Chain A
Amino acid sequence: MTDRSAALPLGMEASSRTIASPASGELRRDLRLIAEMIEPGSRVLDIGCGDGALLAYLAREKGVDARGMELSQSGVNACVRHGLSVIQGDADHDLDAFPADAFDVAVLSQTLQATRRPRHVVEELVRIGKRAIVSFPNFGFWRIRLSLLSRGRMPMSEILHNPWYDTPNIHLCTIRDFVALCDELGTRIERSVTLDRHGKPLSLRARGGLANLFAEQGMFVLSNSAGGVRPA
């Protein structure tokens, strides 16, 4: 009955901790940027929510109806232990169950490159979310290009730090690749932001050639073009 004695002090302060705990440190910079794009009180699904830092922040600071999906069981359990609504599942298979427009925003942060069917995943994101926010490491970043050119080995960086034989990142792409995919799918890009490795925004247009060379990460706000006007 050790768990019970540990539970005795549960009270007001413990209850606030339930939401605060996963995000008790500073919210990661790129996650903060995502949080800024989300309207208070909206319905959000964070796919690949990890320890629930973004969810906890959104619930606490913006009164968001925050749900999560996470592949690792330990991540899921940690989230639910902290009072967050999270299910075990993966982007490739478990988005199909949601109805269209189930969420105001579907978030896929630094996870697209680890999915088996990224094209399908992007389609699903803009189906189940009125908007989708997607961020990923840019494989077109100049250091990555230079590394491959000069060393002739699979590039590794601060963001992509696993060797080729032991990486979950099986579908890497460049910012230009991603924009091309969105065009092919008829998915509307509402907004794009380019970031450095620390998640700090750069003043580069995502559709410009420089972004593909100098941005370490891309972040895109997408919506289904069926519902909006396609920009030129």
Chain B
Amino acid sequence: MSTVTAPLLKRPGTEWPGHSLVVSEPLRLDCGVDFGPFTIAYQTYGKLNPERSNAILICHALSGDQYVAEPHPITGAAGWWTTMVGPGGVLDTERYFLICANVLGGCMGTTGPKETNPATGEAWALDFPVITIHDMVRAQKILLEHLGIETLFCVIGGSMGAMQVLQWASSYPEGVFAAVPIAGSARHSAQNIAFHEVGRQAIIADPDWCGGRYLSLDRNPSRGLAVARMAAHITYLSEAALHRKFGRNLQDRNAVTYGFDADFQVESYLRHQGSTFVDRFDANSYLYIARAMDYFDLAAEHGGSLPTAFPGKQPRFCIISFTSDWLFPTSESRALVHALNAVAANVSFVEIETDKGHDAFLLHEPELFATLRGFLTGSAEQRGLMRFWD
């Protein structure tokens, strides 16, 4: 497989479009390290109203970034949630002030393992502290304080983004009016940890990974990262969607070649997914962020009781799952609903019928848009946001 190394990505300290905040005060991480100073790179869309009550925090997923609704600065591809964000969109930039920050440990401007460790002058690599979902949310909280936003109108995200949403509701319930975890879970399942381990081992087994020090040695474990992405990508789809898209169709040929070329369209598709991913993602970031997801278990943080993880006056919840999502199945969302019912929180729960699998939250899914539009409009009424709109 041929892969392209990405000169932009490899260079630490690259300037990205958008905003950044340098946090000088060290942040106490779950692993016990006081980490800092560090940078949070973020993007905003729309305008904050005078009462600072219309802010929505968008939490991105494992392989996402802050470029929600604009072309990606490396690949030029459309923002990952252009289906949702824009003027007149579900997340309406004419009504809401949208914020999305690259997560701690990421590789698009927020401090992560590819940035320079001030102690050594080299990339952090594996000296970067292991971070958690809670640490990511702590960093987001610092950013919001910096922006002068005391209470978010809404925090929303899919997959790992949903984990951050739940962490927000658990850690800062008074700081969130409405919470929308999509295709999420209160803990990463054994099966999901297993898939992550496959991805990590693919990266670690790449001779160019060099014990994580590839940047200092001017190498890039792009083959390992591509395989990790390919394996993960299968889990984001569904058998039905793969069959509908590709079936057993052959790629640019009429017969199998009795070799190991990409005979089938599905192989060609996966190879493409792998090779384009390495252009925009850092292998060590992938290890760290996947680890943060594995460690996520809200109930465990609260003596094994999930309801206990949701103290105080909880935000209004809209929990959404997809019928064909086998990575974060509906049963996980339902467990969440029961826990929130136990604390008498205001919860809506919608399971959406689709064959698109886990990735449905990123795709054109009209039922998802209609559900969110109704929930957000209802919440905006409750929050008294309507008078800012006309």
Contact = CB atoms under 8 A, between A and B. Distances in A.
B338 A94 contact: yes
B230 to A, nearest CB: 30
Given A3-B366, A77-B350, A84 B378 contact: yes
Contacts of A206: none
Contacts of A67: 346-347
Contacts of A7: 88-90, 92, 369, 373
A207 B281 CA distance: 73
B341 to A, nearest CB: 4
Interface string A77-101: 1011111111111000010011100
A97 B377 contact: no
Given A19-B378, A73-B353, A80 B90 contact: no
A229 interface: no
B186 interface: no
A94 to B, nearest CB: 7
A80 B371 contact: yes
Interface in A198-231: none
Given A3-B370, A18-B377, A94-B338, A85 B347 contact: yes
A87 B390 contact: no
Nearest to B375: A80
B384 to A, nearest CB: 11
Given A4-B88, A81-B374, A12 B367 contact: no
A8 B389 contact: no
A69 B350 CA distance: 11
A82 B347 CA distance: 14
A1 B369 CA distance: 11
Contacts of A89: 337, 349
A81 B386 contact: no
B338 A3 contact: no
A3 to B, nearest CB: 5
B349 A83 contact: no
A100 B267 CA distance: 55
A29 to B, nearest CB: 27
B342 A97 contact: yes
B344 interface: yes
B149 interface: no
Given A10-B377, A86-B348, A81 B370 contact: yes
Contact of A8 (B83, B88, B379): B88
- Of the listed residues B83, B318, B344, B352, the one surrounded by the most CB atoms of chain A closer than 10 A to its CB is B344
Contacts of A11: 389-390
Contacts of B369: 3, 7
Given A7-B90, A94-B338, A102-B344, A76 B349 contact: yes
Contacts of B370: 3, 77, 81
A97 B338 CA distance: 5
Interface residues of A, number: 35
Contacts of B343: 99
B364 to A, nearest CB: 8
A8 B86 CA distance: 11
Contact of A5 (B88, B90, B342, B366): B88
Interface string B85-110: 01011101000000000000000000
Given A15-B381, A19-B378, A99-B342, A4 B86 contact: yes
A69 to B, nearest CB: 9
Contacts of B227: none
A14 interface: yes
Contacts of A82: 374, 378
B316 interface: yes
Contacts of A5: 88
Contacts of A1: 83
B41 interface: no
Contact of B348 (A4, A18, A87, A99): A87
A37 to B, nearest CB: 22
Contacts of A98: 341-342, 344
Q: Which 6 A-B pairs have the closest CB atoms?
A: A83-B378, A81-B374, A87-B349, A97-B341, A97-B338, A102-B344
Given A5-B88, A73-B350, A99-B342, 15 more contacts: A1-B83, A3-B90, A15-B377, A19-B381, A73-B351, A73-B353, A77-B367, A81-B370, A83-B375, A83-B379, A84-B348, A84-B378, A85-B347, A89-B337, A89-B349
29 contacts: A3-B366, A3-B370, A4-B88, A5-B88, A7-B89, A10-B88, A10-B92, A10-B373, A12-B390, A15-B377, A18-B374, A19-B381, A67-B347, A76-B349, A76-B351, A77-B367, A77-B371, A80-B318, A80-B350, A80-B374, A83-B378, A84-B378, A85-B347, A87-B347, A88-B349, A88-B350, A94-B341, A98-B344, A99-B342
